[in-house]
Chain A
Amino acid sequence: MEINKISEEKQKNILLKVLEVLKTMASRPSGFIGLCILVFHILLAFLSPYLAPYDYKAIDPTLMLQAPSSEYWFGTDSLGRDVFTRTIMGGRTALTITFFGSLIALLWGGLLGIFCGLVGGKIDDVVMRIVDAFLSIPWILAMLLIVSLLGTSIEVLIPALGFFYGKGIVRVARAATHDVIAKDFIISARARGHSNMSIIWNEIIPNVRDAILVEGAMRWSWMLLGFSSLSFLGFGVSPPTPDWGLMISNARGLMSFAYWAVIAPIVGLSSLIIGINLTADAFAKALGIDRSTKAPV
């Protein structure tokens, strides 16, 4: 019973800590703007099907490439679909796929990194060599290959993105673990004779958690960037699902006379990526982690 109480208190502590971190993040203007944009996009993703004035896939050849008007706020595209409807719905797939992709990246990258940092020695050497090799294959080549051979379903995209964006997390988690295991409190726990699992769980994970979470947040924005690039190249979301990358790609050819069909998704995608980036930056600063010295690998 008492133990439950402790864990309850611990949960309360964690909740308090989350609130405190959010408060610190929002106390900077950049963090505040980032959080606002992110919250706006998340709400939009949930609510857009109810807000959309038209059917996103309704094709009407008579309404092709209409300029913005009171009826069609952002105009229509080359198939006569409402750009406003498609724009507010255009982030849903990308957000969902990249969110779960980041979770997977975080999980496998974090765990493998902690493992490598702990065991060290030859196993660590071999794993890091392989991670290095994967890093040196341009992600876009690998992703394109996988998608072109296996298709663009969510079941393929999420694990594939998760895998390719987790490599970098392995390095970060490994470095953080290396820093922690040299600390006296770990040595102290070892000298007391705690089991390895208990040391990992109680001493190491709480101290590398922040670094890994920040890295995961950053990955999310890069993954979004990568995923949109895939969509843009025609290897991401398949039509007619509305997606910003795809919309930009489709409307690009006609942008000399229908710029609105390009501008709207560009604003959508750019604001989301900037929002996530600012949030991740503020998150890192709130946790006291400086990550601007790292390369975006």
Chain B
Amino acid sequence: MKEIIQKVRNLSVGFKSQKGHEISILKNITTNIKKGETVGIVGESGSGKSTLALAMMGYVKQGLFTMEGECIFNSSNLLAMGNRDLEKIRGRKIAMIPQNAGQSLTPNLKIGYQIDEALKLHTNLSKNERDKKISELLNKVRLPSPETIALRYPHELSGGQQQRVAVGMALAGNPDLLLLDEPTTGLDVTTQAHVLELLNFIAKDTGTSMVYVSHDLGAIAQVSDRIIVMYSGEIVLEGPARDILKQPIHPYTYGLLKSIPKLSLAGLPDSMPGSQPQPGAKTKGCSFYDRCNLAEDKCKKNSPNLEYVSELKTSVRCFNYKKIIEKKSEKQSNIKRNEKNIKINEILNLTDVSISYAKQKLLDQILNKITDTNPTVKDINININKGETLALVGESGSGKSTILKSIAGLLRTKEGSIKFDQGRVLSNDLKKRNSSDLRAIQLIFQNPDESLNPNHTVEEILAQPLKLYFGLSGEELKKNIIELLEKVRLGKFYMTRYPRQLSGGEKQRVAVARAFAAKPDIILCDEVTSALDVSVQAAVLNLLQKLKEDFGTTYVFVSHDLAVVRAISDRVAVLYQGRLCEIGPSKNVYKFPSHPYTEVLLGAVLEPDPDIKPKLVAEDIVEDKPPEKGCCFQGRCPRILGDKCKNETPPWQIGDNGNAIKCHINIKDLEKKQNGN
């Protein structure tokens, strides 16, 4: 047995509601963190995982209080310590790497100062030694030219760099325990993989214990030795990482793993019904009762205890875990998508579309000069067939949402044309489009909190398109609204609710219903599942697929999540810096990545499987702008040829699998090289 460095004993943390009730967010948490191990704490938003991590530093957020229990570090209870004593532990013995480093670095202080501050507090080094140590730390987290980085302000760094600085700062005090609160959430896929790799390296290099908190089982799988699964403030499953991921014996974890779309499996993931109960919701029995398909009467009445299963070295909070062990022979198979509806019948066509955000300067307007030779989005040629789902995929800044907005008419195209319905050109001015074209193309947004007017009831929200396009009123309007709600599996009683009274998944369903209210031909989906929890995401994806099959709608689906795209799309277009890199049928793009960028992207995806490690082929560099000439990916391409890539725009090549790539390297050679790796 390794030495235990932190013990959490029977910890409950809660808050006082406005009515004076005590509502717990963490319920009776007991666990140990051992020396040198990495523990992953996974759970959906609101499961209490961040509160637990902060409690391990003796920190309870304002408004919360410790109801009972203790966090014991070095044989003293952190939660009962005074601030003076805590100051000596925080940053020195236990350090935190926060979720959003951009907001966690003080904006008015230089990077160097902020690291120096930690060194001054926690080491006895002299000024010169500290300066050396700062460079050393920045070097260790693999930041280029540490001396210049130290002189920068936080806002001058990219998201990935900020996160690295936060890691470096946490290492300054040489802590025994590192707490990581969603350290890679919000970063681009490739950056995320690089930061994770760095964390793994540091764990090995320094032997520090780590507690890694995340909602993303993919990230957890890559770093953890042991996993704790939290649900509604309780530990529901705890055990060795491999066992938990390969054989989850709690119905929640089982369902959660099944609801994650995976690169290796085509088709849609299984969805879990319902959503996590709100804190304070009265539950006598098991907190997962409402969503569990194994639930029995006793689950409703009694709350199960955390039970240790010795043969699996796992603790589980479920009466029926044996039933899941029996289920293990069942092979995971995703829901097959029905692809019959797709006809080769073009409905939307983008020809040579380019879009520019740059405002023309007054002088240039007068001289009638076109200054922007390097628009944000350039040379987009895409055709979309009726009834298909085309996905636009890329990292932030790839212009995928920009293209979507210009299809909707919200952004003017600078050049090129968007043709709809047998080659009719759509005006690039929203005001000039006619009502039936506007009706035919509908949008669903990423964040339902922002896309639904907080001052309208669900009824009013859904009535808007119905009144506008079909002139409905009275009983008929009401009937239609109820029908729409049924389509997205929401009851009639939702009509009088306001968006703030709905859960994230329910809000997104209302947004879907609003889009379908127009009886559209095309729906543009802008990252529609990114703001949702994994288990809810699967349900929304399944809903979208079902509606599409019922109504023959065409989707243009924008996402940064390659696994989600894999699950829902028929064809994929890969974008980098507003330029197309590759386009083709999803199954082929995912099977044989041919464009170097596609290779990089797919290599960086984190699968919830400890055996599938990400492949890091390219440097993690952030580019502000696309290059003026040559290939758009030249800055990061691992297979760059030289001047040719820098000066000449690469040609389109079509491979045997039907996917087209824009690259100077022969497509056959690329495939050979990639298989060789």
Contact surface of A with B, Cβ cutoff 8 Å: 1-3, 6, 183-185, 187-194, 202-203, 206-207
Contacts and interface: CB of A to CB of B under 8 A. Distances in A.
- The 5 A-B residue pairs with the shortest CB-CB distance, nearest first, are A193-B438, A2-B474, A206-B455, A184-B451, A184-B450
Given A3-B473, A193-B430, A193-B433, A188 B456 contact: no
A1 B476 CA distance: 12
A191 B464 contact: no
A3 B473 CA distance: 7
B464 A187 contact: no
B430 A206 contact: no
Interface string B53-95: 0000000000000000000000000000000000000000000
A2 B478 contact: yes
A187 B439 CA distance: 15
Given A192-B442, A206-B456, A207-B453, 9 more contacts: A2-B478, A3-B474, A184-B445, A184-B450, A185-B452, A188-B451, A191-B430, A192-B439, A206-B455
Given A2-B474, A3-B473, A185 B410 contact: no
A187 B410 contact: yes
B458 interface: no
B174 to A, nearest CB: 41
15 contacts: A2-B474, A2-B477, A183-B450, A183-B451, A184-B447, A187-B443, A188-B451, A190-B410, A190-B430, A191-B408, A191-B441, A192-B439, A192-B518, A193-B439, A206-B455
Given A184-B450, A206-B456, A192 B477 contact: no
A145 B386 CA distance: 71
A31 to B, nearest CB: 15
Contact of B464 (A1, A6, A190, A192): A192
Contacts of B514: 188
Contacts of A203: 453
Contact of A192 (B452, B455, B465): B465
A38 B617 CA distance: 70
A206 B452 CA distance: 13
Interface in B461-488: 464-465, 468, 473-475, 477-478
A190 B518 CA distance: 14
Interface string B364-376: 0000000000000
Q: Which of A3, A190, A193, A194 has the most CB of B within 10 A?
A: A193
B477 A191 contact: no
Given A185-B450, A187-B410, A207-B453, A193 B468 contact: yes
A207 B455 CA distance: 7
Nearest to A182: B450
A201 to B, nearest CB: 12
Nearest to B465: A192
Contacts of A184: 445-447, 450-451
Nearest to A206: B455
B435 interface: yes
A185 B438 contact: no
B638 interface: no
Contacts of B465: 192
B409 interface: yes
Nearest to B474: A2
Q: Which of B408, B410, B442, B464 has the most CB of A within 10 A?
A: B464
B410 A192 contact: no
Nearest to B445: A184
B454 interface: yes
Interface residues on B, range: 20 to 34
Given A190-B430, A192-B464, A207 B447 contact: no
A190 B433 CA distance: 12
B410 A191 contact: yes
Contacts of B459: 6
A6 B475 CA distance: 11
Contacts of A206: 453, 455-456
Q: Which of A184, A188, A206 has the most CB of B within 10 A?
A: A188
B430 to A, nearest CB: 7
A257 to B, nearest CB: 54
Contacts of B443: 187-188, 191
Given A187-B410, A191-B410, A191-B443, A1 B435 contact: no
Contact of B473 (A2, A189, A191, A193): A2
B478 A191 contact: no
Contacts of B456: 202, 206
A120 to B, nearest CB: 12
Interface string B351-394: 00000000000000000000000000000000000000000000
B641 to A, nearest CB: 42
Contact of A207 (B454, B464, B518): B454
B566 to A, nearest CB: 26
A1 B518 CA distance: 24
Interface in B382-425: 408-410
Contacts of A191: 408-410, 430, 438, 441-443
Contacts of B441: 191
A185 B451 contact: yes
B496 to A, nearest CB: 8
A256 to B, nearest CB: 53
B342 to A, nearest CB: 25
A26 to B, nearest CB: 15
A185 B448 CA distance: 9
Interface in B307-352: none
Contacts of A2: 473-475, 477-478
B447 to A, nearest CB: 7
Contacts of A190: 410, 430
Contacts of B409: 191
Contacts of B518: 192
A188 to B, nearest CB: 6
Nearest to B408: A191
Nearest to B524: A191
A206 B447 CA distance: 20
A129 to B, nearest CB: 17
B408 A194 contact: no
B107 to A, nearest CB: 17
Contacts of A202: 453, 456, 464
Contacts of B454: 207
B470 to A, nearest CB: 12
Interface string B168-205: 00000000000000000000000000000000000000
Nearest to A5: B474
Nearest to A210: B455
Given A185-B452, A187-B410, A207-B454, A194 B464 contact: yes
